[in-house]
Amino acid sequence: MSTLLERQIRKFLPQDLANNESLKPFLEAVKKSYHTQEEQFNMLQRAMQISSEELFVANQKLREESKAQQEILDSLKLVIKSLQLKTPQKNENLDVIELANYLKEQSEELNKVREEQETLLKSLENKNEILSNYAHMVSHDLKSPLRNINTLLNFILEEKPELASQCKEYISLILNNLEKMDALINGILNYSTLDKEQFGKEVIDLNLLLTQLTEVIYIPEHIELQVPKNFPTIYGDTVRIQQIFQNILQNAINSIEKEKGLIKIDYKDRENFWEFSIKDNGYGIPQHQFEKIFRIFEKIDNDQQATGIGLSIVKKIIDFYEGKIWLESELDKGTTFYFTLPK
């Protein structure tokens, strides 16, 4: 193209100048200038092409972002509608600013509710702490005179062996009631001081735990206890898990009045939790008392020896672990307690 320009320039020059060697520097300068202009023009075209591509990409991104924002707005409208919240306008055509203001108002209300909840929780924590301290104090104040009475009665029995048999029976009855009172106080203390925050988190070998439990709990000779040897390892607080098994097992032992008693402890491996069962062939529980027995101080009508606290403690512990407890029972045939614990 530069050669064409040189010919055109020579064409319009006089013949004597067209072939003049002294004109070559001028033509060379024009040629270089044209080259520079052509390169700049090509660069400008390239820059415009790049800018056009970038602009296209940017526009594409803007369209995608706009679409995404519209989807978010639509989703928020659906959320508001599904929650049946009162919208700031009667129509549903909320623009971004209106929706943002509305969400700000809802956020402020939620923050207010959260602050109220935190205040309530702190109040409950303080009350729970007061209740726990009160339970310890009452426990100490009640158990001290019980111990004194127990000591005094045993002293009388040892020092006065010549007491009438009827008098000894009365003293024995008093001692039995003192034991019941002591168990009741311990139960109330255990129930009122259960605190999930204090639960330990350790590996528990249930085979070992159940073996140790059967060594410390009294099982009459006429009762057979069947426990498989392949129980799983779980995670939790050893003392609390032992309380669950011990209280249900003790409840099963107390319910058996037959000459040959049988208690079976078993488990099933579920997807996200372990399901345990403790089955006995005791006198059974009436269906109308199924829910009642898990409430504190409630007990089966025909079980006068019970404190009415053991199963309520069991339920409270299982609730802390977000498990479930239920039972199946037939009168004169027996009862099966089921409960779940997370893996």
pLDDT bin (cut points 50, 70, 90) of residue 273 is very high
Residues 92-103 have pLDDT tens digits of 555 666 666 777
Task: In whole angstroms, give the CA distance from residue 32 to residue 331.
Answer: 113
pLDDT bin (cut points 50, 70, 90) of residue 322 is very high
| Cross-strand pairs, 340 | 275
- Percent helix / strand / coil, the chain, rounded to 5: 65, 15, 25
* CA angle, 224 then 228 then 231, to 5°: 135
User: What's the predicted TM-score (pTM) here?
Assistant: 0.55
> CATH for 200-342?
3.30.565.10
Most confident of 8-22, 44-58, 142-156, 268-282: 268-282
Residues 135-174 have pLDDT tens digits of 666 666 667 777 878 888 888 888 777 777 878 788 888 8
Residues 43-97 have pLDDT tens digits of 655 655 555 566 666 667 767 777 776 777 677 666 666 655 555 554 455 566 6
Residues in the chain: 343
10 Å CB burial of residue 343 (0-12, 13-18, 19+) is exposed
Residues 292-321 have pLDDT tens digits of 888 877 776 555 566 678 898 899 999 999
pLDDT higher than threshold 70 for residue 201: yes
- Spatial contact of 151 and 182, defined as CB atoms under 8 Å apart: no
Mean pLDDT of the chain: 77
Domain ranges for the chain, please list them: 2-74, 115-192, 200-342
